[in-house]
């Protein structure tokens, strides 16, 4: 096996035993990225020099007796998470030359844990999309089929892990942007509870929905990253107090007695039959191992997608108002007056999908429409959260498909409404602020199917236990080496 094929747990063990050095590991991965990514397009920027310098520092620290948990382990970062001295573009012309003067809290914590940042990954512009087709700079393909999308908006991070370019990567999830690409690419992707991880340094899309999370190849690797980046942060007043410790060995417990609910609304019209069959087959295996499985209902789920696009677009309209061509970001060269400067800078800097959501958000917040749309969407949000609260009085976790289909082809969903439906099974979880993970559970038509596990607030450990068991049952999927 090549070094890039090993998981984080294995690499950490090899580094501790002195079988490899971090410089050797990082060089192997970057060489692989530079070769493989010509086809995949997962990275917007590869920091070869900075990564090798950090790897050399990690090797010296290890010789001095350092026991940092991720010492010398390469990790990739989605390009809407600030990295000091390195471009953070959000895959947008608006921020094409933006270099943050500080690290996001999660990046700072990764570095404190000894991780090596190898580069920034491609995404839908400002995290608005479900296919990574909205990037202003390049195309990212699905490692399983180069004619298929990797999902979005964290498509670059998902593809980088699935293509064995890095063992783990950070992403962000506002309505499914970690779980859906994880499903499409056959990776494990966790969206933690809202507030579990600091959002300081995450370029805002919809602040009440955004959450940083992580991609990995297995439950243990996700646990290791979560240990490094989770916990309260004084820079983010929405971050929750305290910190959970995730023991990679503790998540290996079985599922006997675990009460699993299957929301019937998540298996209905529009969900591919092969996808459903894969989910049912995996759940059946859990039932045979002692889990208790029952169909149940989340009746307000049908309103989640509409509520989500009203709330998220309204918050996007507010958050993106700061890009005015004056303080930072793209500035138009030709304009007649101040108002024209605003209009020209934003028209040139933002892509089509971002403009669409800004216009929708501005509309639902406008006088005469606020009560009819935005206020009503917030009321629906409460009903959806109440649905989940009631469900978790009886069930430990809920399970469903992550996405209604496997990865679709480029240009296949040209209608925005059709594209929005790709998130129909993930947005309710963001609306309720719950933790949720996507784990590969099989193939349909030769492409990965993701099983979504939804948990109570701050019970990520239960999700990781379920993920471990699913992977023990179904095996770990990987695309054919090309």
Region of 176 on the Ramachandran plot (φ > 0 left; ψ -120 to 50 alpha; else beta)? left
Q: What are the two backbone dihedrals, phi and then psi, of residue 358, each rounded to the nearest 5 degrees?
A: -60, -45
Q: Respond yes or no: is residue 131 known to be catalytic.
A: no
Residue tagged active-site, from 22, 131, 160, 177: 177
CB 213 within 8 A of CB 189: yes
CB 364 within 8 A of CB 314: yes
Residue tagged active-site, from 21, 92, 153, 345: 153
Look at residues 293, 308, 337 and name the one whose alpha carbon lies nearest to residue 431: 308
CA gap 107, 201 in Å, rounded: 9
Q: Respond yes or no: is residue 78 known to be catalytic.
A: yes
Q: Respond yes or no: is residue 160 known to be catalytic.
A: no
Residue tagged active-site, from 78, 111, 120, 413: 78
- Dihedral sign computed on CA atoms, order 267, 438, 106, 103: negative
DSSP structure string for 281-329: HHHHHHHHTT-EEEEE--GGGGGHHHHHHHHHHHHHHHHGGG-SSSSSS
Look at residues 79, 96, 154, 90 and name the one whose alpha carbon lies nearest to residue 126: 90
The DSSP 8-state label assigned to residue 74 in this structure reads E
3-state secondary structure of 43: strand
Q: Which residues of 310-336 are buried (b: 16+ CB within 10 A; e: fewer)?
A: bbbbbbbbbbbeebbbeeebbbbeeee
Token pair of 260, please? 């699993």
3-state secondary structure of 1: coil
Catalytic residues: 78, 153, 177
């Amino acid at each position: 096996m090549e070094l890039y094929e090993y998981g984080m747990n294995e690499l950490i063990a090899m580094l501790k035993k002195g079988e490899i050095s971090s410089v050797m590991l990082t060089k192997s991965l970057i060489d692989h990225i530079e070769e493989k990514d010509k086809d995949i397009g997962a990275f917007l920027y590869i920091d070869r020099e900075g990564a090798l310098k950090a790897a050399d520092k990690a090797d010296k620290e290890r010789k001095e007796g350092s026991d940092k948990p991720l010492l010398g382990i390469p990790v990739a970062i989605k390009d809407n998470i600030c990295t000091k001295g390195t471009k953070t573009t959000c895959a947008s012309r608006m921020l094409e030359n933006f270099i943050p003067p500080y690290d996001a809290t999660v990046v700072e914590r990764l570095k404190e844990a000894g991780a090596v940042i190898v580069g920034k990954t491609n995404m839908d512009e400002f995290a608005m999309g479900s296919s990574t087709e909205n990037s202003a700079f390049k195309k990212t393909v699905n490692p399983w089929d180069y004619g298929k999308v990797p999902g979005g908006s964290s498509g670059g991070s998902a593809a980088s892990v699935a293509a064995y370019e890095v063992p783990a990567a950070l992403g962000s999830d506002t309505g499914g942007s970690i779980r859906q690409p994880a499903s499409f690419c056959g990776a494990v992707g966790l969206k933690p509870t809202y507030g579990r991880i600091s959002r300081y340094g995450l370029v805002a899309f919809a602040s009440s929905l955004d959450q940083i999370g992580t991609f990995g190849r297995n439950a243990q690797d996700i646990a290791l990253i979560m240990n490094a980046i989770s916990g309260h942060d004084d820079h983010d007043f929405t971050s929750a107090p305290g910190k959970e410790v995730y023991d990679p060995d503790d998540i290996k417990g079985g599922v006997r007695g675990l009460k699993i609910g299957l929301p019937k609304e998540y298996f209905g019209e529009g969900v591919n039959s092969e996808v459903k069959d894969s989910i049912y087959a995996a759940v059946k295996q859990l039932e045979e191992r002692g889990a208790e499985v029952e169909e149940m209902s989340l009746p307000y789920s049908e309103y989640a997608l509409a509520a989500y696009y009203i709330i998220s677009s309204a918050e996007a309209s507010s958050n993106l108002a700061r890009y005015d061509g004056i303080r930072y970001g793209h500035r138009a060269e030709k304009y007649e007056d101040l108002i024209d400067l605003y209009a020209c800078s934003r028209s040139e800097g933002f892509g089509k999908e971002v403009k669409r959501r800004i216009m929708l958000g501005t509309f639902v917040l406008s006088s005469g429409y606020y009560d009819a749309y935005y206020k009503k969407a917030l009321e629906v949000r409460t009903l959806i959260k109440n649905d989940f609260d009631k469900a978790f009085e009886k069930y430990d976790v809920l399970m469903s498909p992550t996405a209604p289909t496997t990865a679709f082809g480029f240009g296949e969903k040209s209608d925005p409404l059709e594209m929005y439906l790709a998130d129909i099974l993930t947005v309710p979880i963001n609306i309720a602020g719950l933790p949720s993970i996507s784990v590969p559970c099989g193939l349909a038509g030769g492409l990965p199917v993701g099983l979504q596990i939804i948990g109570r607030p701050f019970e990520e450990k239960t999700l990781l236990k379920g993920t471990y068991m699913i992977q023990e049952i179904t095996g770990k999927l990987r695309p054919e080496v090309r």
